[in-house]
Amino acid sequence: MRRIIFWTHFVFGLMAGLFILSMSVTGVLLTYERQMVAGARAAAVERPDGAEPMDADALVAAALEAGAAPGNTLTLSSDPGAPVQLSKGRRDQVWLNPYTGEAMEEPGHALEAFFSRVEQIHRWLAFTGKRNETLAAMNAAANLVFGGLLLSGIFLWWPKAWRWPIVKAQLFFRQGLPNAKARHYNWHHVLAVWSLVPLAAIVLSGAVFSYGWANSLVYAAFGEKVPQRGRPPGGAEVAAEAGPAPAEIASYDLLVAQATGDKANWKRVTLTLPAPEDADFAVTVDHGNGVQASKQKVLRLARDGSGPRAEAGAAPASPASKARRFIRFLHTGEIFGVLGQTIAGLASLASVVLVYTGISLAIRRLIRMRKAAQAAAAK
């Protein structure tokens, strides 16, 4: 049995090695994409001499001048010098200078375009920017093969005897090894065991993105159907309170202060711009990195400044939708913040070394086999 598993591991590893290497290298490059793009956008902000960041009221007014309409969202950062995001739709974003309120010319666009191309290669091997269905299918299949390699690798790694000297040699890097073959063998085994869990999470979550049947299984596990495109699975946003327009409209600075309360660790506040007749509006306070639902609080604030209302700003997401969102950001590690991103990046880096050492060991074995066959033929 061990011989069969070894040769299956050997053959499929060689077949899928370059595809896995591509996914691993691009995965490393994408590790801190969110932070790097945000940094590039912040660096693009031009501060006029002596200017101070605009307050929330001035920024809302600037957004309206930039074409914002009721229902659009305006995201303010806890860093008053960071650009302000006006979202008119999923693909219609405007960034405002926090000092002047003027629309910025695609801040961080070059870096964002770079990461977009890297992601296309990572997901579909789209080096030209255009998706090729054949290459995309091969890449997705290689991801499944990688999952099989991880499973067979567990069996091959498993010590024949659980004695500490033997287990220790499989768990830790060894010094003083006599040649490259011994080093690569040691690296391959050590990195495989320490990166097993995060790599398994990356592979399984990647399969959900690549295959409709895997995505359907997530929803089926909760007794739900996959939602149609363009329809939010968590339900529609709760409508603003009906009734006459408030007699008084409080300052947005006051309303933002009400939303954040006395907590100083919030990262961003997203305002859903109200219509003139709305008595309240939705506000989302984010204490995380923008994707951690557990660190987001959705409120409805009365526009007259009387405080938050009891209703949440959006209908609760279904269990399957929550699971699907968790899987989406489990793949990048972002669901666990910077620590999760770092672990995912290190696991991808370990995968690069696993491919290198695996191919190195395989080539050496093929050379030995060829020499043995030639020697046998010469007799």
d(CA 264, CA 257) in angstroms, rounded, equals 10
How would you classify residue 230: left for phi > 0, otherwise alpha for psi between -120 and 50, otherwise beta? left
Q: What is the mean pLDDT of each run of 10 residues along the chain (379 residues)?
A: 93 96 98 96 94 95 95 95 93 94 92 96 92 95 97 92 89 93 96 97 97 96 85 47 69 93 84 93 93 90 86 66 95 96 98 97 94 87
The DSSP call for residue 333 is S
Q: Give phi and psi for 115, each to the nearest 5.
A: -65, -35
The H or E element containing residue 199 is helix 196-210
User: How crowded is residue 362: how many other Cβ atoms within 10 Å of its Cβ?
Assistant: 16
For 348, the 3-state DSSP assignment is helix
Q: What angle do CA 117, 118, 121 make, to 5 degrees?
A: 90
**SS3 assignment, position 95:** strand
- Token output for 100: 């002047």
Q: What is the C-alpha to C-alpha distance for residues 113 and 57, in angstroms, rounded to an integer?
A: 32
Give the separation between CA 18 and CA 41, rounded to whole angstroms.
34
pLDDT tens across 311-350, in order? 554 456 789 999 999 999 999 999 999 999 999 999 999 9
Complete DSSP assignment for 173-231: --SS-SSHHHHHHHHHHHHHHHTHHHHHHHHHHHHHHH-HHHHHHHHHTTT-PPPPTTS
Q: How far apart are CA 49 and CA 343, in angstroms?
A: 42
